[in-house]
Structure 1
Amino acid sequence: MTETVLALIPDYGLIVVFAVVMLACMAVPVPASVLTLTAGSFAAVGDLSLPMVLLTAFLAFAIGDQIAFLLASRFGRKLLARFADSPRMGPIIARSEDMLNRRGALAVFLSHTIFSPTCPYVTYLSGSGGLAWSRFTAVALPGAAVWTAGYVGLGYAFASQLEQVATLLSNFFGVVLASAVAIGALAVLRKRWATA
């Protein structure tokens, strides 16, 4: 799927960037990070405008994030319960909830930057009662700006080594996510051990 989406950039450019980033913020499994890196590299060679790529990715992130928050505030836990039983998504949702409970608004910022795979789930949890909209938005927008600048900037700076950067980032987030799941599992085991 990644190759198909990336192939659309030369023809549809910013429209594809906007759609994919917005959908990724709502937990649709699309390659937003790789696409944003690629859009940055297209800007480096002059095929896309760097300011427009930055603006488009940021607006898509902000709008998708707000839609996810609104959906969660309207439909609450029902939406998350649907994904929580999934063996693949369950640990991510549990980790996101734990992070939000322990860190509050800081969890929103971290999920929008360093722990970006948890972003949609922290947003849904925030909207379903974890945080007030104003507090969520005050932290989510700077996080979206950092994420956008980071990925577009990396794509722009390392346009000639884009595949290596994408692989490196993919491995990094895989390690971060695996570590988060392991820490969560250890916390649950420790809690059960203490009560046994």
Structure 2
Amino acid sequence: MTDTLLQALVTYGAALMFITAFLSCLAIPIPMSLVMLTGGALAATGDLSFTLVWALTLLGALLGDQAGYFLGRRGKGRLEAYANATYKRYQLWRKAQTHLDKWGITGVFFSRWLVSPLGPYVNFAAGAASMRWAFFTASGVMGEIIWVTFYVGLGFVFADNLPLATAYAQESLRTLGAFMVMIAATVVILNIAKRRRAVLS
């Protein structure tokens, strides 16, 4: 499937990037990170437009997120039946719910790029939990920009060595995630300290 998909990417270009990004955000099993790396590499060789690849991939991901959110919001019962149909889907569904319970709106942001396999199920879970649409959308947009820019950009830079790009991507995302969690924790600690000083004064 992967080889066929990548060959089709050469033929259909950025339009296929849009379609695959949209479907991947609805839990259709597509190796989207590899697709984006390849799209970036094709842009580096001049076969595709980098701007068009980036923009259509981002648009597809954002629309896929919205579709997943509203599927969760309006079809919770059917969605749960779908998730419970296989053990793997059940596990992802439960992990997505736990992820949202723990992190809230921040969890939507991290699920776009740091724990992207959970992303589609977080979309469903956010809708099923009636998370405020504006918060879901804002957090999702920021996360998707990081996800798409990172992978398409990495494919562009490492066009001659995509296996190296794949290895680099995994390590870089872990490092970036740890850094952002550290920043978030620092902000929380500073806010708590500020409130305590205000109470004491």
Distance 2:42 2:25 in 1: 22
Q: Is the 8 A contact 2:158 2:164 kept in 1?
A: no
Distance 1:17 1:120 in 2: 17
Deviation at 1:170, TM superposition (A): 7.0
Which residue pairs with 1:27 in the alignment?
Answer: 27
Q: 1:81 to 1:167 in 2, by over 3 A?
A: farther
Q: How does 1:1-196 map to 2 (within 5 A)?
A: 1-166=1-166, 169=169
Q: What one-letter code is carried by the residue in structure 2 that aligns with 1:81?
A: A
Deviation at 1:172, TM superposition (A): 9.3
Distance 1:4 1:167 in 2: 22
Determine helix, strand or coil for the equivalent of 2:129.
Answer: helix
Distance 1:89 1:5 in 2: 23
Distance 1:161 1:72 in 2: 39
Q: What one-letter code is carried by the residue in structure 1 that aligns with 2:105?
A: A
Q: What one-letter code is carried by the residue in structure 2 that aligns with 1:83?
A: A
Determine helix, strand or coil for the equivalent of 2:15.
Answer: helix
Determine helix, strand or coil for the equivalent of 2:140.
Answer: helix
Deviation at 1:163, TM superposition (A): 2.7
Tell which deviates more after alignment, 21-30 or 87-96.
Answer: 87-96
Deviation at 1:80, TM superposition (A): 3.0
Query: What's the % identity of the aligned pairs?
Result: 32
Q: Is the 8 A contact 1:77 1:128 kept in 2?
A: no
Determine helix, strand or coil for the equivalent of 2:161.
Answer: helix
Query: Structure 1-normalised TM-score?
Result: 0.82
Determine helix, strand or coil for the equivalent of 2:33.
Answer: helix
Tell which deviates more after alignment, 4-13 or 68-77.
Answer: 68-77
Distance 1:30 1:170 in 2: 17
Please list every run of 5 or more consecutive structure 2 residues that lacks an aligned counterpart in the other structure: 174-201
Deviation at 1:71, TM superposition (A): 1.2
- Corresponding pairs, count: 173
Deviation at 1:95, TM superposition (A): 1.4
Distance 2:167 2:3 in 1: 14
Per-residue displacement from partner, 1:103-146 (whole Å, max 9, x unpaired)?
Answer: 10010001001000000000100011251111100100111111
Query: Structure 2-normalised TM-score?
Result: 0.80
Query: RMSD of aligned C-alpha atoms?
Result: 1.9
Q: Is the 8 A contact 2:151 2:169 kept in 1?
A: no
Per-residue displacement from partner, 1:54-113 (whole Å, max 9, x unpaired)?
Answer: 101110000111111111111014213322342222222211111100110010001001
Distance 2:97 2:81 in 1: 12
Q: Is the 8 A contact 2:73 2:130 kept in 1?
A: no
Determine helix, strand or coil for the equivalent of 1:147.
Answer: helix
Distance 1:24 1:133 in 2: 20
